[in-house]
Structure 1
Amino acid sequence: MSKSIDEKKAKVEEIKEKMQKSQGIIFSKYQGLTVEEDTELRKNLREAGVEYKVYKNTLSRLAAKELGFDDAEKILKGPISIAFGYDDPTAPARILNNYAKDHKVLELQGGIVDGELFDVDRIKQLATIPPKEVLIGKLLGSLQAPVSNFVYVLDAISRKKEESQEA
């Protein structure tokens, strides 16, 4: 019997560790997905660096409670899968939300993002945020535009001076 208890304690510690390392954690109901659909979903998540697991809810609730997420108990009912986003907090929400649009049996339940509990509506809002790389690209483009324009103006002034000197 103590072996079983030790195994459960080890599993709770594993879940806690994953929750602590994650920037974004999304809980979803997956019951009703076919094996092919589940495999496709797991592949999409894996490609984005998201870990997707199914744990016993009692163990997940214990881990969440030990980390101070007492309200997660409301979410962790019935068959729940957990997507852990380690690098990009929006990735699990974005992928699961997009997948749920085509596969109605997949239901987002809520999540934890940067240590804060999110309800389904906030998770769906989070899912609309582009990936970090896209945001960085947009920021760099925005920062580069004024410099490019300034260089263009300086070049135009230089050309105008050259034309006036030649004339």
Structure 2
Amino acid sequence: MTREEKSIAIENLTAQLAGVNVIYLADTSGLDAASTSDLRRACFKANIKLEVVKNTLLAKAMEVSDLDYGDLPSVLKGNTAIMISDTANAPAKIIKDLRKKGTKPTLKGAYINTEIYIGDDQLDALVTIKSKEELIGELIGLLQSPAQRVIAALQNQNKEEVAQ
């Protein structure tokens, strides 16, 4: 790869990282063709961009980015696939689901809304992160609950009055 090609690749990676709040780094080495195909298919269905990247180019892109990736570049060793998503827990769920069949892919690290997660042991914590839609749904449910109790109590009172 020439210097110019590397420069273009770094610019492209930097552009991909710009404005993205959910980035996962995974080790996909050792996956057979079927498992790789399953991973790509699952990512496509979940609207996750999956790309295998060169570690040095990704490290340079993180370095020139406006965002602070902390110690995340330190995990860039070996085979690295970058997963870019809009939903914080979607890549973690896919990794965990595929791990039911084997030991790969493994989580190297993640950047989620300025928080840095390093190591495969963080996978269970990342799976439990709620998406924006899930949080809004829970909040609406909590807000509706007291109103539903009041309505039910009034309906019961009306039934009792009618029965008398």
Task: Sort the TM-score into its range (normalised by shorter chain).
Answer: 0.7 to 0.9
Q: CA deviation at 1:104?
A: 0.6
Counterpart of 2:35, as a letter, is E
Secondary structure, in 3 states, of the residue corresponding to 1:153?
helix
Alignment match, 2:163: 163
**In the TM superposition, what are the counterparts of 1:5-16 in structure 2 within 5 Å?**
5-16=3-14
Counterpart of 2:101, as a letter, is D
**In the TM superposition, what are the counterparts of 1:18-167 in structure 2 within 5 Å?**
18-67=16-65, 68-69=68-69, 71-85=71-85, 87-120=86-119, 121-164=121-164
TM-score (norm 2): 0.86
2:25/2:108 contact within 8 Å kept: yes
| Overall identity of the aligned pairs, in % | 28
Secondary structure, in 3 states, of the residue corresponding to 1:21?
coil
- What is the CA RMSD across the aligned residues, in angstroms? 2.0
1:75/1:110 contact within 8 Å kept: yes
The structure in which a higher percent of residues are helix is 1
Counterpart of 2:7, as a letter, is K
Equivalent-residue separation in structure 2 for 1:147 and 1:129 (angstroms): 28
Counterpart of 2:41, as a letter, is K
- Number of corresponding residues: 161
TM-score (norm 1): 0.84
Counterpart of 1:117, as a letter, is I
Q: Which has the larger radius of gyration?
A: 1
2:6/2:57 contact within 8 Å kept: yes
Equivalent-residue separation in structure 2 for 1:52 and 1:21 (angstroms): 17
